[in-house]
């Protein structure tokens, strides 16, 4: 699967910044891939990039129409079909990270056949994977892992990639979720593969490479999350990382979505991940910690990072406020 750029980001009539996470991720991290944003009456939010119609975007060369919004159930509402059909008529592939599949709407399948455009359901991997082998691959790999879900693993990974590119590393960001896939133009929604193939799909995501090449792999879930730890472990084993970065968010008292669950310490997160990662890479090391400190002042955030850095003898930063250069320096 390969998503062809440039993208027209369609945010519909969204009124909530969180609901346009897909569009914002692409606009924030790959502005060069995004030709414009298209919204309709009622929309009160924006990614900040230039607004334009389907016709205008087509004239400027847009190749993919991205459904950049999501409601809670990931449902594709019928009201959006005319916009999607029009985008295909204007020469664009359709990219969706919704739970509902584009391919399940006969009118879209017909139009796709007629126009030769692709319907890309990036949340539903189509590739046939093999089961994992655990065999060591060439090249280097870094995986972001978390105390919990939604603690900034994708943003940390992208910040690391940016920092490494600046320092002339040979590096690729490897996406494992729908936002990341849109940003990278490819990847595998790892929590959507059949359980038997989690590890095998993860292996295929960062294949053999040059010895000095780094893959920065977007982590998923947490080994301490009762719902998603299996995904996290399969991804960890398949990634066989040389380096781990621990991602954390302030002010959480329980695992995301589970009020009765216990939140793990950073120390136990380091211990659990190192222990499990050693199965496929005995030389794995933790090279840094990132914290989303957006809920406190810059000064307070820096104080917290400094404290964690001292406690664990590791660089600790907020990737959005500080960047991740200090972590990348440990990889040189």
Sites of contact with a copy of itself (CB under 8 A): 131-135, 190-196, 198-200, 224, 226-235, 237-238, 255, 257-258, 260-261, 276, 279-280
Say whether 243 sits in a helix, a strand or coil.
Answer: strand
In whole angstroms, the minimum distance from the beta carbon of 189 to a copy of itself comes to: 9
Residue 56 sits at the vertex; the CA angle it makes with 52 and 59, to the nearest 5 degrees, is: 145
Direct distance between the N- and C-terminal alpha carbons of the chain, in angstroms, rounded to an integer:
32
Burial class (CB in 10 A: 0-12, 13-18, 19+), 2: exposed
C-alpha–C-alpha distance, residues 92 and 69, integer Å: 18
Residues 6+ apart with CB under 8 A from 268: 224
Nearer to a copy of itself, 88 or 190 (CB): 190
Nearer to a copy of itself, 7 or 197 (CB): 197
CB distance 29 to 163 below 8 Å: no
Nearer to a copy of itself, 138 or 294 (CB): 138
Nearer to a copy of itself, 49 or 231 (CB): 231
Strand ranges (DSSP E) for 18-153?
A: 34-39, 64-67, 93-96, 119-121, 140-146
Say whether 49 sits in a helix, a strand or coil.
Answer: coil
Nearer to a copy of itself, 9 or 277 (CB): 277
In whole angstroms, the minimum distance from the beta carbon of 257 to a copy of itself comes to: 8
Say whether 328 sits in a helix, a strand or coil.
Answer: helix
Nearer to a copy of itself, 255 or 327 (CB): 255
List, in sequence order, every residue forming a beta bridge with 51; answer none if it has no partner: 37
Say whether 247 sits in a helix, a strand or coil.
Answer: strand
C-alpha–C-alpha distance, residues 196 and 129, integer Å: 9
In whole angstroms, the minimum distance from the beta carbon of 6 to a copy of itself comes to: 31
In whole angstroms, the minimum distance from the beta carbon of 174 to a copy of itself comes to: 17
Element (H, E) at 10: strand 7-12
In whole angstroms, the minimum distance from the beta carbon of 134 to a copy of itself comes to: 3
Nearer to a copy of itself, 202 or 290 (CB): 202
Q: Any idea which residue has 């990639």 for tokens?
A: 161
Q: Any idea which residue has 């040059």 for tokens?
A: 210
In whole angstroms, the minimum distance from the beta carbon of 323 to a copy of itself comes to: 32
In whole angstroms, the minimum distance from the beta carbon of 32 to a copy of itself comes to: 32
Nearer to a copy of itself, 3 or 235 (CB): 235
Nearer to a copy of itself, 45 or 272 (CB): 272
Residue 154 DSSP class? H
C-alpha–C-alpha distance, residues 193 and 129, integer Å: 9
In whole angstroms, the minimum distance from the beta carbon of 69 to a copy of itself comes to: 21
In whole angstroms, the minimum distance from the beta carbon of 280 to a copy of itself comes to: 5
């Amino acid at each position: 699967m390969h998503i062809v750029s440039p993208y027209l980001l369609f945010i519909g009539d969204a009124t909530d910044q969180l609901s346009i996470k897909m569009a914002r991720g692409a606009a924030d991290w790959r502005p060069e891939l995004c030709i414009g944003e298209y919204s309709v009456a009622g929309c009160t939010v924006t990614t900040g990039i230039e607004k334009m119609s389907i016709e205008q975007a087509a004239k400027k060369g847009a190749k993919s129409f991205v459904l950049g919004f999501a409601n809670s159930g990931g449902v594709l509402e019928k009201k959006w079909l005319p916009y999607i059909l029009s985008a295909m008529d204007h020469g664009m592939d359709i990219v969706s990270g919704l739970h509902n599949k584009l391919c399940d709407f006969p009118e879209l399948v017909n139009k796709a056949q007629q126009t030769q455009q692709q319907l890309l359901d990036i949340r539903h991997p189509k590739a046939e994977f093999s089961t994992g082998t655990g065999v060591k691959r060439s090249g280097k790999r870094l995986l972001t892992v978390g105390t919990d879900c939604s603690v900034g693993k994708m943003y940390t990974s992208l910040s690391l990639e940016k920092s490494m590119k600046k320092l002339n590393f040979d590096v690729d960001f490897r996406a494992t979720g729908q936002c990341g896939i849109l940003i990278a133009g490819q990847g595998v929604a790892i929590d959507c593969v059949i359980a038997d193939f989690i590890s095998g799909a993860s292996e295929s995501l960062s294949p053999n490479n040059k010895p000095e090449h780094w893959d920065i792999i977007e982590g998923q879930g947490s080994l301490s999350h009762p719902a998603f730890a299996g995904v996290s472990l399969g991804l960890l084993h398949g990634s066989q990382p040389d380096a781990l970065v621990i991602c954390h968010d302030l002010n959480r008292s329980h695992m995301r979505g589970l009020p009765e669950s216990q939140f793990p310490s950073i120390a136990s997160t380091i211990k659990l991940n190192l222990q499990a990662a050693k199965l496929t890479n005995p030389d794995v090391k933790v090279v840094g910690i990132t914290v989303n400190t957006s809920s406190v002042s810059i000064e307070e955030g820096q104080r917290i990072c400094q404290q964690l850095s001292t406690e664990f003898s590791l660089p600790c930063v907020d990737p959005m406020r500080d960047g991740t250069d200090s972590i990348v320096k440990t990889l040189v």
